Each structure stands twice: as structure tokens, then as C-alpha cells.
Amino acid sequence: MALPGVQVLFAFLLVVPFSQRFSVVTPLQIRVYFAVLLCTAVAAVLLIVLSTHHRLLWCQYTKEETLAAANWLSIGGMVFLVLAMTGAIFLITDVLFGGVAAAVATTALAVAFAWFWYGEPLLRLRE
């Protein structure tokens, strides 16, 4: 389910440098943009590789190993997706409202991601 989101975010990020307003971004915003682009690309690699592994290894008798690898690759892909989405929120909020609003929005989103995507499930796993 995360893969379409990664693909849409990646497509959006590929178009951004060609917009007219991109020429007025600050050096910090350019660095954040590039980091978000790289995180999105890594997330796409880690999430798409699951399909490739499945297709290449489908007739091999490595189901348990493939499932274990898929689990770790999915978790890694989701970590990079969190970084990309949080960075994108920082970048957009910084352009629209400035640094203070960007820091508040990014922190709130990072806390929400940390809790709902990782904290709450890991807490339930402990119980």
C-alpha cells in the first residue's frame, strides 16, 4: 500500500525543479529537497525490490528466507518514506510560512509517524 504513495511523491519531486518558483528557494531548502528526493528514491528501491525478488525467486524453495527479507526491506522502505514525507512537509511549510511554522509542523508530523507507524505497534508487540 505504501508503494503508490512513494511513486506519487517521487513523481512530484521530479517535477519541482522545473517550476518557476524553484529558482527562489534558499540553500537550506535546496539541500532538504535533495535529501527528500534521495530518501524517496531509496524508499522506492526498497519497496519495489519485493516484487522483483518474488518474480525472480518464485520457483525456488526459499519462501521463509524471501518472506524474512521482504519484511526487513519493507521496514527499511517505510523508514525512508517517513524521512521523505517529513522532509517534504518541512520544505513546503518553510516555503509557505517560514522556519518556525516548518519546525512545528515537521516535529508534529515526525512525532505522529514515530508513534503510529512504530511506537504503538512495537508497544503492542512487547505485550
Q: Give the model confidence (pLDDT) of 90-125 as tens digits.
A: 999 999 999 999 999 999 999 999 999 899 999 998
In a domain, 18, yes or no: no
In a domain, 73, yes or no: yes
- Residue 45's domain comprises 2-13+26-126
**Chain centre distance of CA 112:** 14
In a domain, 118, yes or no: yes
* Residues 75, 66: Cα–Cα separation, whole Å: 14
Would you say residue 88 has pLDDT above 90? Answer: yes
Kindly state the cell numbers that stand for 63: 519462501
In a domain, 68, yes or no: yes
Identify the residue with better confidence: 102 or 16: 102
Identify the residue with better confidence: 58 or 45: 45
Q: Domain count of the chain?
A: 1
